[in-house]
Chain A
Amino acid sequence: MSRVLSVENLGIGFRSEGQDFTVVRDVSFSLEAGQTLALVGESGSGKSVTSLGIMGLLPPPPQSRTTGRIVLHGGDGDGDIELLGLPESRMRRLRGDRIAMIFQEPLTSLNPVHTIGDQIVEAIRSHRRVSRAKARTRAVELLEQVGIPDPQERLGTYPHELSGGMRQRIMIAIALALEPDILIADEPTTALDVTVQAQILDLLRRLQKDTGMAMLFITHDFGVVADIADRTIVMYAGQTVEEGRTETVLSDPLMPYTIGLMNAVPRLETAGLKLGDLKTIEGFVPDPAALPQGCSFHPRCAYMQEGLCDTSPPSIEDAGGGHMVRCKRWRQIGEGRET
């Protein structure tokens, strides 16, 4: 298994109306070929910003500033490439080629005035010197691969003539056009019907098996996480609060925020967790300009202990086997579950 991307101590901040605030703090993870990493969290937890930071699609400084390291590891003989600080012209060549991305809103993510075919061909031809005809042949191949019927005829259709699920398939076809090492999927199924959602997840899993690409899958849905991810990172207020193998995180969550999130999923079996009737997490994700003192989750936490959680911020600790937790009380929480 080879490592394709390393993110180390990533920090992302924005400047708005003369005020600086940090939305991603000290996030580290890596992506392995053929594996899927899920980033989970509520809106505002910094997961989408993290993905845009990797793509180099954040507004340029001084509107935003990114610190830390993002390294794209070369496959065959290419050296490692440090993505942060890479000139736009070089970053552009990697975007869509080595790292591709699909988005949450399939209905608005395609340009309404260009045909499906043109939008796929354009992606291919902006990275490879191939003829229009050759690119179109490849486009038909891609449409077939993502399960679009009559691919040849579909090339000439416009986005508005297709359903949401179909459009997300087109987006996936565009993303896969150049066989990227990494696919970032930012809530790709959130806007779709449940049945279509399952189809798209199946498709992504199959394509990953065929191409061996690494996936960074952003979602707030633990059902999806269980379905697709090998490893899971839970983010809160711009920080990693829990990380580990998906089975471990889902079956043995130790950070109260993860527990709260899972209890908020109506489908999930929560009876064995003995968590009383906690169903939703009270309150909101804190304003990044005014984070609470101590643990940033303590004002909403059911396990909060005064004098401990509201004084100094917790550091991230290994709870065994690479299961990382950012909580001072994870031992008590774990023990409480045993008995």
Chain B
Amino acid sequence: MLRFLTYRLAHSLLLLFLVSVIGFMILHLAPGGPLSQFALSPGMSQAELEKIAERMGLNRPLPVQYLDWAARFVTADWGESFRDGRAVLDIIFGHLFATLLLILTSTILSVGLGTLVGVLGAMRRYSAYDYLATVGAMVALSIPTFWFGLVAIYVFSLRLGWLPSGNMYTIGDESFLDYAEHLIMPSVVLALVQVAIWSRYMRSSILDVVGQDFVRTARAKGLTRRRVLYVHILRNALIPMITLTGIQLPTLLSGALVTETVFTWPGIGRLFLDSLGYNDYPVVMGVLMFTAMFVLLGNLIADLLVAGVDPRVRLE
């Protein structure tokens, strides 16, 4: 166990290092940069631009800039935003709640619904329902999230007027109901693809387990159908789903990025896109590293959970 954790920690650190180097390089190699917007200001002289560059530390060689950033990063000082000078970590934590609320709601939705759809599909294999679920999943997987989001806004906000078209709450209201009302569309839109993925994996995982000998044993023991399904089939079929949830985290986060943008949801995804637009390097790097750590931690937790529920798995 200790060896496993040490190994995973080292592994994660190496990955984070690579992510930071590649992210840093791509960011700085991209055309434009933080200075380009100042350069357009009327009456801006070259000397003044250089002064700004010096203040931002952008006049130094790239490796030096990276090392400076990395040295501060490991001491939990993630720098300050170019835009407003606030600490990057403060900005991220300011947007964290919105994103967590969104992805948590949509994960609960997709796990619940995906499991149900998948289990029913497996139990009634090749039935009309099963074909419908299969086709539905294919459609959901092929619709881009942003398109579905825009259609949802058009139908439910513009035409029907049932739901707010964006933001997390109404200023001045902020009641639980108000939050819930704002949450419905973005979380459903984000969950759509996840439900499709979950139901497909769940269906095939169940079919894998149903054909196993121990299920026949369970039935031969005279257990009720319900008990065979919950205690023997589902218990085994859900184990690979834990791993899948971990693996799906990046998909979920990039889906959140699109969803947050479409619904002007004040989360980390939108912060990332905004910061990119402003060439706000410290915030972009901060969000990048934060999501990378989030994904790595999520996968570690998934692996620990699998080891917890499957006695055959030994963490070595």
Is there a chain B Cβ closer than 8 Å to A57's Cβ? yes
- 19 residue pairs A–B, Cβ–Cβ below 8 Å: A55-B220, A57-B216, A57-B219, A57-B220, A88-B225, A95-B221, A95-B222, A96-B222, A109-B214, A111-B214, A112-B214, A113-B239, A114-B231, A114-B232, A114-B235, A122-B231, A123-B221, A126-B227, A174-B221
**Further pairs besides A57-B219, A108-B212: 12, Cβ < 8 Å:** A92-B223, A92-B225, A96-B223, A100-B221, A105-B213, A109-B213, A109-B216, A111-B217, A111-B235, A113-B309, A113-B310, A114-B232
Find chain A residues with CB under 8 A from B239 CB: 113
B205-255 interface with A by 8 A CB criterion: 212-214, 216-225, 227, 231-232, 235-236, 239
**Residue-wise interface mask of A (108-124) relative to B, using a CB-CB cutoff of 8 A (1 in contact, 0 not):** 11111110000000110
Which residue, of B216, B222, B225, B310, has the highest number of chain A Cβ atoms within 10 A?
B222
Is there a chain B Cβ closer than 8 Å to A325's Cβ? no
**Residue-wise interface mask of A (97-138) relative to B, using a CB-CB cutoff of 8 A (1 in contact, 0 not):** 100110101001111111000000011001100000000000
Interface pair A95/B220, CB less than 8 Å apart: yes
Question: What bracket does the count of chain A residues touching chain B fall in?
Answer: 20 to 34
Q: Looking across the interface, which residue of chain B has its beta carbon closest to that of A104?
A: B213
Is there a chain A Cβ closer than 8 Å to B312's Cβ? yes
How far is it, in angstroms, between the C-alpha of A311 and the C-alpha of B282 when the chains are bound? 90
Interface pair A101/B220, CB less than 8 Å apart: yes
Question: What bracket does the count of chain B residues touching chain A fall in?
Answer: 20 to 34
How far is it, in angstroms, between the C-alpha of A108 and the C-alpha of B312 when the chains are bound? 13
Is there a chain B Cβ closer than 8 Å to A93's Cβ? yes
Find chain A residues with CB under 8 A from B235 CB: 111, 113-114
Interface pair B217/A158, CB less than 8 Å apart: no
Q: Looking across the interface, which residue of chain A has its beta carbon closest to that of B218?
A: A111
B313 to chain A, nearest CB (A): 10
Find chain A residues with CB under 8 A from B61 CB: none
Residue of A88, A92, A97, A103 near B217 (CB, 8 A) is A103
Q: Looking across the interface, which residue of chain B has its beta carbon closest to that of A160?
A: B312
Is there a chain A Cβ closer than 8 Å to B42's Cβ? no
Which residue, of B216, B221, B231, B235, has the highest number of chain A Cβ atoms within 10 A?
B221
Interface pair B216/A126, CB less than 8 Å apart: no
